[in-house]
Amino acid sequence: MTISPRQPVRQLRLVVEAEDYDAALAFYRDVLGLPQRAAYAQGDDERVAILDVGHATLEIANPAHKRAIDDVEVGRQVAGHLRVAFEVDDAAATTDRLVDAGAELVAPPTRTPWGSLNSRLDAPAGLHVTLFQELGGEEGVPPGVRTEAGPDGSAGTVRT
């Protein structure tokens, strides 16, 4: 398999349908603090806002890994097929702020074996959310876990 030197996908955009659009927009834009890049309306009831989340990744996990992360972060299986994770500077304070704004706390900030502080929330628009704070400044690898090489032989190389 040949990999193009130019990354073929320029942006990840997760599209979420929110029955209560105004409440969801206020939660993610105003409380979590995601800057609004654009917003559009057509007629009286068709609206969309595009919020900037900074750097985006798509994490593909097999069922065993999904269960393992649920066990570490929550202590039981709670996440559905999709979980949205936001890296924040202060997981504890952000968790408190989001709970005060209406998110349901699933698990409080918990130190993980890979050196981050993670919490879980059920948030507006039906999203199951992880907030994570990298305590060592960057993502770590826990003892007993190996890195796997990508198709070009690199392990974890990120191209921007």
- Say how far apart CA 92 and CA 101 lie, in whole Å: 14
Q: Are 152 and 140 in contact (CB under 8 A)?
A: no
- CA–CA dist 72, 46 (Å, integer): 40
pLDDT in tens, 99-156: 999 999 999 999 999 899 999 999 999 999 999 999 986 666 666 666 676 776 665 5
Q: Which backbone phi and psi does 99 adopt, to 5 degrees?
A: -65, -45
pLDDT in tens, 64-80: 999 999 999 999 999 98
Strand partners, 42: 46
Determine the residue type at 53. Answer: V
Give 28 or 6, the one with higher predicted confidence.
28
Handedness of CA 112, 116, 119, 123 (dihedral sign): negative
